[in-house]
Chain A
Amino acid sequence: MKVIQLHNSNTKLIDKAAKNNREAQHILYEVHAPKMLSVCRYYVKDVQKAEEVLLNGFFKAFTNLKRFKNEGSFEGWLRKIMVREAISFLRQQKQIEFSVDDVQTHHTYTNNIDTEIELNEIQQLIDQLPEGYKMVFVMYAVEGYKHIEIAELLNITEGTSKSQLFKARQLLQEKIMKLNKPKIDTNEVRR
């Protein structure tokens, strides 16, 4: 019962916001902004710039809210807008570069590294990746996009998307190994 009530209230709130009710828009912003800023932060290193992306994303969302048909989740719809906005922001900044090295994408890499990395460390690792690698990796591994969708959004081929992901994974693996090594060393010293 509570879930239905919540859904109904959320739908009403969205309807009001679509009719340009500033209060409803503010509530929607307050609810979703922290999560959406985190999404923007996946792609944009600088928090202030990520906020800029967030602002533009919310502006587009509110001005096109009539197109949202309450069929999927509002958060998912908003998230897609944020990702697109982040991509266009990085395009404007001319920060996206996709290296076209011939990479064998069928190479296996070990995903079974048993590691417990802190949140800040993860973000730092992602930030250190080149923009092309980072975008494809985040979209694929975190956001759950398929290669064909990534190719369409980033205006690249599906093969490029796959090679970018492979390189990103390799690079991350190396960095995590480096991060884990000192920890292991310190554990051995303690023993």
Chain B
Amino acid sequence: MKLEDNLKETLEGRTLQPSENTWNALAKQLDAHNKKQHKKLFWWFGIAASIVGVVLISTLFFKNTITDISKPTLVETQKTIKDVNDNNVVKLQEQVAETVDMTNKIIETPKQEIKTSFQKTQKIITSENHKEAIAQTQPKTENNNKPLEILNAETILEDLKVESIVAQINDLKEKGTISDEAIDALLNQAQKEITLQKLYNEDVKTVDANALLQDVETDLQQSFRDKVFEALQTSYDKVKTAVAQRNN
């Protein structure tokens, strides 16, 4: 019989019984390993759960804030539009027709309210969810020409002031007491009066912040002073042409 075959055959057939403690030791090792695995799993589950929790809370929080913002907007919109239409705009139209001073006091507040309410109305129209609101606000969008009327009232006020200043300057001219300083003083006073009337809201007894902002914007437009100078120049040109024609 060959050596290696004999060796292999003999060794292959051999079995050795391990001691009893070996299994116990193995069982203990396996138990310890399982505990470690459970701990690992526990930590992983904990981390996963906390991540899910944070995501849920954050989504809920953001959803709530969005709804909080949108709901009151709708309610306010309806009220302001009603107020504007029922009281202020009608009053405004009447008062503009009557006196310039009274008009100036009323103009600013409704003007802004109409502007804001007009924007809000547009928002409501675009949202499909609130059909009732659309039904209520849609007729009120027909008042688009009202801000134009208010703007016209503003220009009327300025024109009236211009006329009065020109008249005063002409008086001074006739009296012979005209000077650059006197004209400047008159212009400054008139300008102050106009800006005050624009900013100060007589109904609420407060200065309108939006009006202040708009005041800055109006600087870009033609100033009151320019208008006065323009009016003086045109009257001067008229006199000049009249004298020239008479001489001819």
Q: Which residues of A contact B (CB under 8 A)?
A: 20, 22, 25-26, 29, 33-35, 37-38, 41-42, 47, 50-51, 54-55, 58-59, 62-63, 111-117, 119, 122-123, 126, 141-142, 172-173, 176
Contact = CB atoms under 8 A, between A and B. Distances in A.
A38 B15 contact: yes
Contact of A54 (B18, B27, B29): B18
B18 A117 contact: no
B23 A29 contact: yes
A117 B10 contact: yes
B18 A141 contact: no
Contact of A51 (B6, B7, B18, B27): B18
Nearest to B29: A59
Contact of B34 (A20, A50, A172): A20
Given A38-B16, A58-B26, A119-B10, 16 more contacts: A20-B34, A33-B17, A34-B16, A37-B18, A38-B11, A38-B14, A47-B16, A54-B22, A55-B22, A55-B29, A62-B30, A112-B3, A116-B1, A141-B7, A142-B11, A172-B3
B19 interface: yes
B139 to A, nearest CB: 73
A34 B17 contact: yes
A135 to B, nearest CB: 14
Contact of B2 (A33, A41, A111, A126): A111
A63 B30 contact: yes
A35 B27 contact: no
Contacts of A41: 16
A119 B6 CA distance: 10
B57 interface: no
B4 interface: yes
Interface of B: 1-4, 6-8, 10-12, 14-19, 22-23, 25-27, 29-30, 33-34
Contacts of A22: 27, 30
Contact of A122 (B1, B2, B10, B19): B10
B14 A141 contact: no
A114 B1 contact: yes
Contacts of B16: 34, 37-38, 41, 47, 50
A124 B11 CA distance: 12
B9 to A, nearest CB: 10
A153 B231 CA distance: 108
A55 B33 CA distance: 14
B27 to A, nearest CB: 7
A111 B1 contact: no
The 9 A-B pairs of least Cβ separation, nearest first, read A34-B15, A37-B16, A141-B4, A38-B14, A38-B16, A113-B3, A37-B18, A33-B18, A111-B2
16 contacts: A20-B30, A29-B23, A33-B18, A33-B22, A33-B23, A37-B15, A55-B25, A58-B26, A59-B26, A59-B33, A62-B26, A112-B2, A117-B7, A122-B11, A123-B11, A142-B8
